[in-house]
Amino acid sequence: MKLIRDYIIIFSGIGILAALIFNSVVLPLYVNWNNEIRVPSLTHADLQKAVQILKDRDLEWTIKDTIYRRDMPSQFIMDQYPEAGQMVKENRRIQLTINLPPAKLEMPDLIAITERQATITLDRIGLLLVETFTDSSDLYEKTVVMNQSVAAGLPVAPGDSITLTVSLGKRNLKKIMPTLLNKGVDEAVRLLEINGFTVGNIQQTQNSQLLPNTVVNQSEAPGKEFPKERVVTVDLMITDGF
C-alpha cells in the first residue's frame, strides 16, 4: 500500500509540474513566439469584447471599414486583418470591419415629380419602393407623384420600404348647364356662378307676359355638359322693365 501511495504522490507531483510548465512556458510561447503575438479570432464578436481581447495581448486596433447587414447586431466584427492565427509584432494594429447601421437620412420630397424621377431618387439613397398606387387627380398630371408613404424631411435609413401614389390624370369631371329660363336675372347669375360658369352679355327684350328682368333665353342649352376646367361664358336675354 505504501508503494501505491508513493506512486500516487509522484504522479501528482509530475502533473502539477507539467501544468506549471504549460502555463509558464508553453502557453506564452504559443501566444508570444519569438517576441511575436498570435492574432486572436475576432470575427463574430462584438467590438467591446474584441477590444478587450486585443488589449490583453498588447495589440492595437482600428476600424478599416463598416458594412450594414440588418440580420446582424450593431458593432459586430465581420472581418479582420491580419487573419486569426497569424504572428505579428507587439502593438500591431489589427484592422476591423464592423457591422454598423448607416447614418439616418432625410426623406426627399417626391411630390410633383414624375414616377421615373422618384424611382431614381429612391434607388440612389437605398430606399426600397415596395408598391406604387394610382389615383385620379385634378391637380397633378398623369405619371406625376401625388403622395408618398413617408413625409419629406422625416428620418429614413437605407433599406426602408416606401410606397408612392401616382396620378392617373384628371378625373374628367363635368359641369352641367343649369336651367335659367323664367328665373329672375339675379337668381340666374347666382346659378351660373355656383356651377362654374361665367356670365356674359345681358340683353333686354320686350315681353308683356313675364315680370321684368326675367330670363327668356340663354346662349347655352340647359343640361349641356362641359369639362369642369373649361371656361364657359353664358349670355342672357331678359325682359325689360316695362
- Which of 167, 183, 208 is the last residue in one of the domains? 167
Per-residue pLDDT at 47: 92
% of residues, the chain, pLDDT over 70:
85
Q: How many CB atoms lie within 10 A of CB 113?
A: 15
- In angstroms, what CA-CA distances link 94 with 47, 51, 52, 100, 180? 12, 10, 13, 18, 89
Grid cell, residue 8, equals: 500516487
Count of structural domains within the chain: 3
Per-residue pLDDT at 4: 59
93, 28: one domain: yes
Grid cell, residue 227, equals: 369639362
pLDDT in tens, 135-180: 888 788 889 999 999 999 998 888 889 999 999 887 777 899 999 9
Q: What is the distance between the alpha carbons of residues 162 and 149, in angstroms, rounded to a whole number?
A: 6
- Which of 99, 117, 139 is the last residue in one of the domains? 99
Residue 148 structural domain? 105-167
79, 148: one domain: no
Average pLDDT over all residues of the chain? 86
Average pLDDT on 95-124 reads 90
Grid cell, residue 26, equals: 508553453
Q: What is the distance between the alpha carbons of residues 178 and 201, in angstroms, rounded to a whole number?
A: 17
6, 92: one domain: yes
Per-residue pLDDT at 6: 55
pTM: 0.40
Q: What is the distance between the alpha carbons of residues 119 and 143, in angstroms, rounded to a whole number?
A: 12
Per-residue pLDDT at 198: 95
Cβ-in-10-Å burial (0-12, 13-18, 19+) of 225 comes to exposed
Per-residue pLDDT at 97: 93
6, 85: one domain: yes
Cβ-in-10-Å burial (0-12, 13-18, 19+) of 168 comes to middle
Q: What is the distance between the alpha carbons of residues 135 and 234, in angstroms, rounded to a whole number?
A: 33
37, 53: one domain: yes
- In angstroms, what CA-CA distances link 231 with 173, 176, 192, 200, 222? 13, 13, 12, 11, 16
Q: What is the distance between the alpha carbons of residues 107 and 162, in angstroms, rounded to a whole number?
A: 10
- In angstroms, what CA-CA distances link 201 with 30, 187, 189, 216? 106, 16, 11, 14
163, 179: one domain: no
Ordered alpha helix ranges (H), 22-159: 27-31, 47-56, 115-124
Confidence check: pLDDT of 26 > 70: no
Per-residue pLDDT at 20: 56
95, 115: one domain: no
Contact (CB, 8 A) for 209 and 197: no
Per-residue pLDDT at 215: 95
83, 128: one domain: no
Average pLDDT on 182-187 reads 94
